[in-house]
Amino acid sequence: MNAYEYTYDIAVIGGGPAGLAAAITAARGGRRVLLLEKNGFLGGNMTLGLPLLGFLDEHGARCIAGFGEELVTRLRARGAAYSHRFCPKHNSVTNIDAEQVKLLAIEMCREAGVDVLLHLETQHVDREGGRIRSVTLRGKCNKVTVCADLFIDCTGDGDLAYLAGCSYNKGRGANEELMPPTVMFTLEGVEIDKLLDHVAAHPEEMAASCASIDTKAGYDAAYFRADPNFVFVGMTALFTRLKTEGKCPVERGNMIIIHGLHPGQVYVNTSRLLHTDATDILDLTHAELEGHLQVGQLVDMFREHVPGFARCYVSSIAPNLGVRETRRFRGVKTLTVEEALSASVPEDSICLSGYKIDIHKDCETATLFQTVDKPFGVPWGCLVSAEVDNLLFAGRCISVDESVIGSTRVMPCCMATGQAAAVGALLALSHGQDPAKVNVKDIRAELLRQGAVLYQLSEN
């Protein structure tokens, strides 16, 4: 077995939206940074075909910029992203080309001087009292041990923090109900105009499939026709009928499609794997297998019943199950839904989140959407482990309560926490301090200098 040992200033585990932002920002700050990723590519869930949600708030005002904005600008320069568009249902949508993200991620890491190792999954954490001394990862019968002054957990599931023995919560309520995952897939050959003609003639197809979904007026065929940068959530009447007839293969009340960057291309977010804990390998395997089968069944159903889909074909199935939720780790601070909904922006906020509280329930059809009227601040302490001195969290696994994750989990917010974690890590290293001791005013000043948004802006 090949065994490698490395020493870095900062090790970032997980190369999704949070990890890319963290590693690239940290390397730009002049530190030696190693990014470790279990897949054979970078980008995490940004490569599934999902739109970037949350750059704009409920009223169309800008609440995220910084690294995320740079990424979108660079994708746009290569025709691989639309601009931010106000959406009556999702606040804003920014559709991106899933494959181009993989290429840009490598380029940006190289430019910044991030060292990258792929095909490595975190296996063991060596702790010395309150600090992580080293992390061991394995892949292809190789062993890699990394010592670093600071570790940033960007694995989504918080695998590093879990192996370091940190406390966490999972899901909602006594049963720890988790949002169900989805196998994303891409269709080509879709005649989108036929779908839009159909919903223009049948507005009942756009009815919400669940009472808690709040959508502003104007989420209709005219909105979709005006600009291909849209996320379509609809066909409620059809799904209801097909379910009654036993012809709908998924436990959903509607279809979600994301218009791609190319004519006839849509990304489909409609499979649903109930009762899945994606940190359990048996559940994960079951969900991957069943999810793939759902893709075939859904495509058959779309071809037969959904206008515009008669000649569609599957051009790709996402390489990983799309996991919405698993562990949330205990930070120095845990942000609560009361604070979020009161639009609290404390002085130690390192980013804003203005996206709705969007919780997919682990039952047949329901999605719980709660309006976030004004963006709330995410405090620095949500990124700082309460139990391990040299560990930071960024992305989906940060320290928020079971409702707030419905807002902070979207990818622009994950990038914002990744960028902030790196800025805080750099300051900690330069002052010889632990992250918990860093002056948050200095983090905020540097984030503002890097173009991040820390106060709500009135224009986008």
Ligand X SMILES: Cc1cc2nc3c(=O)[nH]c(=O)nc-3n(C[C@H](O)[C@H](O)[C@H](O)COP(=O)(O)OP(=O)(O)OC[C@H]3O[C@@H](n4cnc5c(N)ncnc54)[C@H](O)[C@@H]3O)c2cc1C
List 70, 99, 121, 364, residue binding ligand X (CB under 6 A):
121
Closest contact distance (angstroms) between CB of 230 and ligand X is 12
CA geometry: angle 249, 254, 260, nearest 5 deg: 100
Closest contact distance (angstroms) between CB of 395 and ligand X is 2
Compute CA distances 211 → 181, 214, 369, whole Å. Answer: 22, 8, 10
Q: Which two tokens mark 340?
A: 């979020």
Chain positions 203 to 262 lying near ligand X, rule: CB under 6 A, are none
Asked if 444 is part of the footprint of ligand X (rule: CB under 6 A), the reply reads: no
List 157, 362, 402, 446, residue binding ligand X (CB under 6 A):
157
Residues with Cβ within 8 Å of residue 413, at least 6 apart in sequence: 54, 64, 351, 353, 355, 378, 407
Beta-carbon-side half-sphere exposure of residue 386 (alpha carbons within 13 Å): 14
Asked if 452 is part of the footprint of ligand X (rule: CB under 6 A), the reply reads: no
List 8, 11, 12, 14, residue binding ligand X (CB under 6 A):
14
CA geometry: angle 399, 405, 409, nearest 5 deg: 105
Q: Which of 403, 406, 399 is nearest to 350 (CA)?
A: 399
SS3 168: strand
Question: Which residue's CB is nearer to ligand X, number 155 or number 307?
Answer: 155
List 8, 11, 17, 62, residue binding ligand X (CB under 6 A):
17
Q: What is the DSSP string of 86-146?
A: EETTTEEEE-B-HHHHHHHHHHHHHHHT-EEE-S-EEEEEEEETTEEEEEEEEETTEEEEE
Chain positions 393 to 422 lying near ligand X, rule: CB under 6 A, are 395-396, 409-411, 414
Asked if 15 is part of the footprint of ligand X (rule: CB under 6 A), the reply reads: yes
State the binding string over 345-384 for ligand X (x if CB under 6 A, else -). Answer: ----------------------------------------
- φ/ψ of residue 140, rounded to 5: 50, 45
Asked if 26 is part of the footprint of ligand X (rule: CB under 6 A), the reply reads: no
Asked if 94 is part of the footprint of ligand X (rule: CB under 6 A), the reply reads: no
CB contact at 8 A, 117 and 41: no
State the binding string over 323-342 for ligand X (x if CB under 6 A, else -). Answer: xx------------------
Residues contributing to the site for ligand X (CB under 6 A): 13-19, 36-39, 44-45, 50-53, 121-122, 154-157, 159, 181-182, 184, 269, 322-324, 395-396, 409-411, 414
